[in-house]
């Protein structure tokens, strides 16, 4: 039913694993761009492949899409306030809501120790400001899982 959208979601989960590794800032940024593109691609592939090929009912998908965009439903704010916004910012302007470089220093007396460059990557602005970007991405992944299950369940 949502075979191809689920394939994109699977790749998104793998990209989150890459983001969880301690990587330098450039590598992390590239993985973030990939994750943001994949997070938004789930919807595009759902519509352009699964719906078009008849695996998913078009009317049902349209109704869900309208629900996701509606400001009245807080359940879908992750779609509006992160998946859509971050995608538009990153892919159209190459600007991200994530703090550009992250390093955690442990100070012990006169000495400092760099713990890692990817331990904490906070969102700088928006609805999820102050939260680690990977935690927000996890919310998006969980939301997509629920939405695809809803769609599949309603089709049966």
User: Domain extents for the chain?
Assistant: 3-155
pLDDT tens for each residue of 21-72: 867 888 889 999 999 999 999 999 999 999 999 999 999 999 999 999 998 8
pLDDT at 111 over 80: no
pLDDT tens for each residue of 115-133: 555 678 889 899 999 999 9
**Inter-residue contact 31 to 88 (CB < 8 Å):** no
Task: Tell me the pLDDT band of 156, cut-offs 50, 70 and 90.
Answer: confident
Q: How far apart are CA 53 and CA 56, in angstroms?
A: 8
**Nearest of 103, 82, 73, 72 to residue 35 by alpha carbon:** 82
Q: How far lies 92's CA from each of 79, 85, 122, 125, in Å? A: 17, 10, 21, 17
Angle at 97 between CA 95 and CA 102, to 5 degrees: 100
Dihedral sign (CA 27, 43, 147, 82) = positive
């Amino acid at each position: 039913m949502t075979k191809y959208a689920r394939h994109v979601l699977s790749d998104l989960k793998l990209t989150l694993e890459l983001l969880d590794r301690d990587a330098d800032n450039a590598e992390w940024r590239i993985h973030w761009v990939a994750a943001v593109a994949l997070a938004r691609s789930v919807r595009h592939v759902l519509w352009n492949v699964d719906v078009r090929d008849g695996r998913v009912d078009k009317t049902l998908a349209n109704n869900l899409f309208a629900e996701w965009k509606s400001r009245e439903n807080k359940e879908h704010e992750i779609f509006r306030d992160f998946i859509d916004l971050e995608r538009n910012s990153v892919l159209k302007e190459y600007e991200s809501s994530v703090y550009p470089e992250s390093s955690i220093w442990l100070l012990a007396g006169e000495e400092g120790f760099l713990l890692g460059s990817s331990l904490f990557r906070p969102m700088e602005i928006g609805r999820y400001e102050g939260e680690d970007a990977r935690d927000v991405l996890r919310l998006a992944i969980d939301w997509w899982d629920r939405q695809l299950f809803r769609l599949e369940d309603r089709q049966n």
